[in-house]
Amino acid sequence: MAQERAVLNQLQAAGYEAYFVGGCVRDGLLGRPVHDWDITTSALPEQVMKVFPKCVPTGEKHGTVTVLMEGESFEVTTFRSDGVYLDSRHPERVTFVPNLREDLQRRDFTINAMAMDLAGNVIDPFGGRADLERRVIRCVGDPETRFREDALRMLRAIRFSAQLGFSIAPETLAAIKTCAANCRHLSAERVRDEMGKTLLSDRPDAAAQMADLHLLSAVGIQRVKPCELASLPKDRAVRWAGFFRACPEANWQTLRLDKKTGEIASRAAQIAFTCKTRLDWKKLISREGGDTARCAAALTGDTETVSEILSSGECLNLAQLAVSGKDFPELSGKAVGERLARLLDHVLEHPEDNKKEILLKQ
Ligand code: ATP
Ligand code: MG
């Protein structure tokens, strides 16, 4: 038995209700790959922990226990409702509830508010299946109320529409326009995660739509130029670089991107289109390193040139130069560095000259 089924089975055998819920039901019905199985149950967290010897109380306050089974992990969450939200971000308190319907009711969109039992029966009180067929993102309940509870849902609406190629129901979109200003309270990390998933989807330009709808103010972004990111490879740094080109006001630190991705993407966005010739690319690799150069080349379409240079064996940095500081005992201090830099410039243009006897005469 697949592990996820075993988790449901064991909860049921212990006398509790248990269902697959949310993204896995949605993606399963769409025939898309399921990347994680979320499970909802009538069992309280301490009861879940008694059923499974190996588990971690990852979010006990929210009723979530991560169950570990043969190297896989499953999030098991007690049926709950989310109480009132006072700050557009967090429920004041969560309440465990006795039935599945109330748990489904707290979920954001109809397509995310379905559950499935072990026999494959779909529990769908809000018309999620019909919306899957119509290819529509629609809030569960009154959209304005739901967006005022948690402003992130507005970004999630755009993100799911980008990932699935769905439209947004007219009243849901109208509510986004009305409630957009509430997004200014969101944490940069949550906004970044939704932007990142959107950028890696088949419709990355939806990230620009987020800005047009004024949903990105928490990360200091007001405007994004029209862009065509879909032709770029689905690589995190490359898609962010494409976004940075379309949005010079975006800042990777404000977005709390990791340093490596942030530096590579923003630098690549600045310099990519300054390269015209093979020599320009060589100089760029030499100055900025291979990762940034590859990212920049993905933006301009010059990936073959850059791969060819990187595998050519030609000298690209001081370490590969046929001479070093020791070869110039007559020089000291800054003069050594300047001489080597000049020789590297020469060798970048004339790779055949990367020989000690030639360079010493330069
Ligand atoms: P994916 O993991 O593919 O991005 P998902 O639907 O599993 O999609 P998660 O963010 O993992 O999305 O959340 C799991 C489920 O929890 C969702 O399907 C939805 O039912 C519910 N959910 C998540 N975030 C919210 C939210 N902000 N408001 C209401 N319900 C939410
Ligand atoms: Mg998920």
> Per residue of the chain (362 residues), what is the pLDDT tens digit?
799 999 999 999 999 999 999 999 999 999 999 999 999 999 999 999 999 999 999 987 889 999 999 889 999 999 999 866 666 666 667 889 889 999 999 999 999 999 999 999 999 999 999 999 999 999 999 999 999 999 999 999 999 999 999 999 999 999 999 999 999 999 999 999 999 999 999 999 999 999 999 999 999 999 999 888 999 999 999 999 999 999 999 999 999 999 999 999 999 999 999 999 999 999 999 999 999 999 999 999 999 999 999 999 999 999 999 999 999 999 888 999 999 999 999 999 999 999 999 998 88
- Given ligand 1 and candidates 112, 123, 153, which is best to mutate, with the most ligand atoms within 8 Å of its CB? 112
Residue 153 Cβ < 6 Å to ligand 1:
yes
Specify the pLDDT at position 331. Answer: 87
Tell me which residue has tokens 């919306």.
131
User: Can you name the residues that pair with 40 across neighbouring β-strands?
Assistant: 19, 77
Specify the pLDDT at position 89. Answer: 63
Is 81:94 a contact under the CB 8 Å cutoff?
Answer: yes
Sequence-distant (≥ 6) Cβ neighbours of residue 313 within 8 angstroms:
none
| 244 CA from centroid of ligand 2 (Å) | 27
| 23 CA from centroid of ligand 1 (Å) | 6
Strand (E) positions, 47-129?
55-59, 64-69, 72-78, 80-81, 95-96, 115-116, 122-123
Sequence-distant (≥ 6) Cβ neighbours of residue 205 within 8 angstroms:
227, 228, 229, 230
**Nearest CA to 282 among 244, 238, 248, 316?**
316
Give the sheet arrangement for strand 38-41, strand by strand: 55-59, 64-69, 72-78, 38-41, 18-21, 115-116, 122-123
Specify the pLDDT at position 333. Answer: 87
Looking at all shown ligands, the one closest to residue 160's CA atom is 1
**Nearest CA to 220 among 192, 199, 245, 201?**
192
**Nearest CA to 215 among 195, 199, 200?**
195
Residue 22 Cβ < 6 Å to ligand 1:
yes
| 299 CA from centroid of ligand 2 (Å) | 30
Domain with CATH 1.10.110.30 in the chain: 135-224
| Nearest-CA residue for atom 27 of ligand 1 | 153
- Given ligand 1 and candidates 34, 107, 185, which is best to mutate, with the most ligand atoms within 8 Å of its CB? 107
Specify the pLDDT at position 111. Answer: 98
Ligand 1 atom, smallest distance to 107 CA: 30
| Nearest-CA residue for atom 30 of ligand 1 | 107
Specify the pLDDT at position 226. Answer: 86
Question: How many C-alpha atoms does 87 have within 13 Å on its Cβ side?
Answer: 8
Is 323:358 a contact under the CB 8 Å cutoff?
Answer: no
| Nearest-CA residue for atom 6 of ligand 1 | 23
| Nearest-CA residue for atom 26 of ligand 1 | 108
Q: CA angle at residue 92 from 88 to 93, to 5 degrees?
A: 135
Pairing of strands 167-168, 136-137: parallel
Looking at all shown ligands, the one closest to residue 22's CA atom is 1
Cα separation, 359 vs 362, whole angstroms = 5
Residue 149 Cβ < 6 Å to ligand 1:
no
| 109 CA from centroid of ligand 2 (Å) | 13
**Nearest CA to 224 among 243, 241, 238, 237?**
243
Identity at 213, one-letter amino acid code: L
Specify the pLDDT at position 247. Answer: 96
- 1-127, superfamily in CATH? Beta Polymerase, domain 2 (3.30.460.10)
Domain with CATH 3.30.460.10 in the chain: 1-127
Q: CA angle at residue 12 from 81 to 106, to 5 degrees?
A: 15
Residue 152 Cβ < 6 Å to ligand 1:
yes
We find that the CATH architecture of domain 135-224 is Orthogonal Bundle (1.10)
| 36 CA from centroid of ligand 2 (Å) | 6
The radius of gyration of the chain from alpha carbons, rounded to an integer in Å, stands at 27
Looking at all shown ligands, the one closest to residue 33's CA atom is 1
Cα separation, 104 vs 89, whole angstroms = 19
